[in-house]
Amino acid sequence: MSIERKAIVRGGLGLLAAVVLGVGLLGNFAGSAPVPGEDANRYPNRPVKIIVPVSAGGSADKLARTVAQKLGEKWNQSVVVENQPGGSSAIGNAAVAHARGDGYTLLLAGDALSLNALQPGKLSYDPLRDLRGVTKAVVNPQLLVVRPGLGVRTFQEFVELVRRRPGEISLALPGGAGSLQHLAVELLNERIGAKTNQIPYPGGGPATLDVLGGHVDAMLITLAAATENVRSGKLVALAVTTPYRSKALPDVPTVQEAGLADYTVESWQGFSVPASTPRAIVDRIHRDVVAVLREPDTSALLENLGFTIAASTPEAVDQTVRDDIATYRRVIVSADVQLK
């Protein structure tokens, strides 16, 4: 994810500390020691679990379940998706960080790994020490959508409405307080000179339900989680946060095209495992996940949802987490953000 200008995030990130302090007790840090005797040629010989650290129904969940189904067919084993939302993804992330490093517990990872690392309180895990990347599967823009009844059809009309009614227009944050969406919305608020009323959610599914139900006015969400509702007319898409348009919704302009120069936010999602997982097992998972992502039917399905296939190396995942931690830290310092 790249952020080209300052952003102000007040108070959101700090709420994670109390939630995640105790998670490390689970599994008694089972992932801290190497696992002997694991044979990559025999892997997997029992069911594999993918932990998704947000609620079911969002884009992360769709990606995980698509890959899980394909891996199950390739491996002739059950690949189960388990949602563990909470703490802006920190609970699910910690569960995998402290799992046994045998390749049978995978994490659907993303931007939250870097964002959580900036908490003022101590997390029960270190994303760089306790996890290792498998592949950055996809990159994708965030999409600003509104409920049809709000009466706006363009990004410019939305900005005018927020300026007329500062603090009144409600906007859902599917990733919760301190998430990528939170950072991106604070940047947007700064750029338009007026604030929305941000409401944190534990995932894209429940956030979308409240917008569809007319309880919340707008939402910034991963594009892949909203394409179907936009195409059906249940949500109105106003703009994407990347400097390029999405092939899935080619008629939706970028925020830059709509008038906010240099506004850029791009997120990623992929797979990580406990750091103690043997390299041979990591390489086997990487090879098979990348093969699945590159299957024509899988790539077409994910791209139609709004994802762009990345299929990176394991090292690229860890480097992205490292680089994003540095980027977010610079934004927080330069914007004089007070984390509580």
Average pLDDT over residues 65-89: 95
pLDDT surpasses 80 at 187: yes
> Mean pLDDT lowest for which of 56-60, 100-104, 237-241, 300-304?
56-60
pLDDT at 178: 73
More confident residue, 164 or 22: 164
pLDDT above 90 covers what percent of the chain? 65
Q: Is the pLDDT of residue 55 over 90?
A: no
- The Cα–Cα gap between 109 and 134 comes to 10
Full 3-state SS string of 127-166: CCCCEEEEEEEEEEEEEEEECHHHCCCCHHHHHHHHHHCC
Residue 162 has a pLDDT of 97
Same domain assignment for residues 24 and 121? yes
Distances (CA, A) of 226 to 88, 221, 223, 237, 243: 20, 7, 5, 9, 19
pLDDT at 101 over 90: yes
Mean pLDDT to the nearest integer, 160-171: 97
The pLDDT of residue 179: 79
Tens of pLDDT along 210-255? 999 999 999 999 998 899 999 999 999 999 999 999 989 999 999 9
Q: Is residue 261 part of a domain?
A: no
Of 245, 322, 315, 259, nearest to 286 by C-alpha is: 315
Same structural domain for residues 233 and 327? no
**Judgement on whether residues 223 and 80 belong to the same structural domain of the protein:** no
3 state SS of 244: coil
Distance CA 328, CA 220 (A): 19
- 188 in the same domain as 167: yes
State the pLDDT at residue 296. Answer: 97
- When pLDDT is cut at 50, 70 and 90, the band that residue 328 belongs to is confident
How sure is the predictor about 13, in pLDDT bands with cuts at 50, 70 and 90?
very low
**40 & 150 share domain:** no
**Residue 92 located in a structural domain:** yes
Torsion sign, CA atoms 309, 79, 175, 204: positive
Average pLDDT over residues 69-74: 97
Residue 248 domain flag: no
Q: CATH number for the domain including 130?
A: 3.40.190.150
**CB neighbour list of residue 249: distance below 8 Å, 6 or more residues apart:** 143, 223, 227, 230, 231, 237, 240, 306
Segment 308-330 shows an average pLDDT of: 92
Lowest mean pLDDT among 30-39, 154-163, 166-175: 30-39
Q: Which domain holds residue 77?
A: 13-137+269-334
Same domain as 24, residue 127:
yes
Co-location of 28 and 133 in the same domain: yes
For residue 8, the model assigns a pLDDT of 35
**Whether residue 304 is found in the same domain as residue 163:** no
Judged against a pLDDT cut of 60, whether residue 17 lies above it is answered with no
131 and 275 both lie in a single domain: yes
Q: Kindly indicate the confidence band of residue 2, based on its pLDDT and cuts at 50, 70 and 90.
A: very low
Q: How many domains in the chain?
A: 2
Together in a domain, 124 and 273: yes
Residue 295: how many other CB atoms lie within 10 Å = 12
Which tens digits make up the pLDDT trace of 259-298?
Answer: 898 888 889 999 999 999 999 999 999 999 999 999 999 9
> How far is it, in rounded angstroms, from Cα 277 to Cα 26?
18
pLDDT recorded at residue 151: 95
The whole-chain average pLDDT of the chain stands at: 86
| Final residue belonging to a domain, choices 240, 259, 285 | 240
Beta bridge partners of 221: 143
Q: Is 252 domain-assigned?
A: no
Residue 335: its pLDDT value, please?
53
Confidence of residue 18 (pLDDT cuts 50, 70, 90): very low
Q: Is the pLDDT of residue 108 over 50?
A: yes
Residue 21: pLDDT band with limits 50, 70, 90:
very low
Please compute, for residue 126, the number of CA atoms within 13 A of its CA located in the half-sphere on the CB side. 6
**Judgement on whether residues 63 and 35 belong to the same structural domain of the protein:** yes
Contact partners, residue 130, CB within 8 Å, separation at least 6: 31, 32, 97, 98, 274, 275
Cis omega (within 30 of 0) for bond into 44: yes
The whole-number pLDDT of residue 20 equals: 38
